[in-house]
A and B are shown apart, each in its own frame.
Chain A
């Protein structure tokens, strides 16, 4: 074991962690909001809107994220209208393209998770709320949303972990996050196994912490399900 090399590698790889987390946090945050919007539109009862959401989910879940990323990063430059618009300031940068692709992709998966949560809200609770005189946004904010999100949280935790792993694709469009640095180190040193071990350990630690964090939130949100403490 070449400890000096391992430590040096780990040190270099850790410099990519902020970018990995930034990509993950931005896309998961924006993706969750978009996912909620999509899930609500799917439930809206307006047929064309629901079909649009179905098509969106189908397209983004059925094709590889890498194709979606290339479509945004390389593909959009085909249109002079986009190249000359203000959007180009963002779309010519790999960082924003990666964020956009990751957000659109996770929103498709997330909307299905949240839809499952919305469907799992017991109708009795909605009836009870209506009987108390709640309706519209108040009903949604007080009853439907909290219950749905609580139901959806375990599955959404998986989605978050998948997204942290998926940010590695950003390295293909030149972003130097953990996997990007790992690829560079491997091609410089040809010591694939050592570099893989260090990079893999970083991702495992990140995902372990996230899983624990989600578990903690879940625990906090389910106090009503535990027997009262004597």
Chain B
């Protein structure tokens, strides 16, 4: 047991520092992916709700394809496809040779575009739950579109979408492990390296799994807190009373 702690601790032979850094990298890339997803989701939801038939069709195609195709395939597309585009661009500008892309950015974008498809549905559903009367009332008291959006729409959409967003965040956090195929040294990649270097694969993969469990559990608690906070004004009566 003491040898285990020497192995994953912060001592001279320990992998503690690397694992800590890698965990932070996992969190960073997951956060970036989640935020990209939120942006894509907002655009997708707006397109689905807009009257334009073309925008709606494009958004429908986006959610159908990205939810029906393996995430790993999307990551490959972004990693290799992005590099091919940049290399082509470089050749056009007189730069020779293959240009690799920043795997953090590529990974976050790939995870973002996949989770954006799920965010689209979450945000669209949440927008539909806003009572129509409130929008009418806002218009009746003279709010412009921007003010109404800021005061009435956004707070409620966030409240209604928060439970689904919590699920999407958990999925993004776990999906970020796939980005290790691009060589980004996040948690899974680091455990892979440590497992190879020490020839103790089970020890390190188990440690990695436990760190992922800690991350998902802690962020789950955070999301629950946020949910409680945003539903203060609409607290439901205790179950027994309903």
A contact set with B: CB distance below 8 Å? 58-59, 62-68, 70-71, 74-79, 161, 165-169, 171-172, 179, 182-183, 186-187, 190-193, 196, 199-200, 203-204, 207-208
The answer to whether A204 and B212 touch across the interface, beta carbons within 8 angstroms, is no
Is B21's beta carbon under 8 Å from chain A? no
B contact set with A: CB distance below 8 Å? 64-65, 68-74, 76-77, 79-81, 84, 170, 174-178, 180-181, 188, 191-192, 195, 199-203, 205-206, 208-209, 212-213, 216-217
26 A-B contact pairs sorted by A residue (CB < 8 Å): A58-B213, A62-B216, A64-B177, A67-B191, A67-B205, A67-B208, A67-B209, A70-B195, A71-B205, A71-B209, A74-B195, A75-B202, A75-B205, A75-B206, A78-B199, A79-B202, A167-B70, A171-B72, A190-B80, A192-B76, A193-B77, A196-B81, A200-B68, A203-B69, A204-B69, A207-B68
B69, B79, B205, B217: the one within 8 Å of A165 (CB): B69
Give the residues in chain B near A191, CB-CB below 8 Å: 84
The answer to whether A64 and B201 touch across the interface, beta carbons within 8 angstroms, is no
**Given that A179-B72, A203-B70 are known contacts, is A70 also in contact with B205, CB under 8 Å in the complex?**
yes
The answer to whether B80 and A192 touch across the interface, beta carbons within 8 angstroms, is yes
The answer to whether A168 and B201 touch across the interface, beta carbons within 8 angstroms, is no
B68, B80, B200, B212: the one within 8 Å of A64 (CB): B212
The answer to whether B65 and A200 touch across the interface, beta carbons within 8 angstroms, is yes
Question: Most chain-A CB neighbours within 10 Å: which of B77, B174, B201, B205?
Answer: B205
- Give Cα A101–Cα B84 distance, bound, in whole angstroms: 33
- Give Cα A186–Cα B76 distance, bound, in whole angstroms: 8
The answer to whether B188 and A70 touch across the interface, beta carbons within 8 angstroms, is yes
Give min CB distance, A54 to chain B, whole Å: 13
Closest to B69 in A: A200
Closest to A169 in B: B72
10 further interface pairs, Cβ-Cβ under 8 Å (given A161-B68, A165-B69): A64-B176, A66-B180, A67-B208, A75-B195, A78-B201, A165-B71, A191-B84, A200-B68, A204-B68, A204-B69
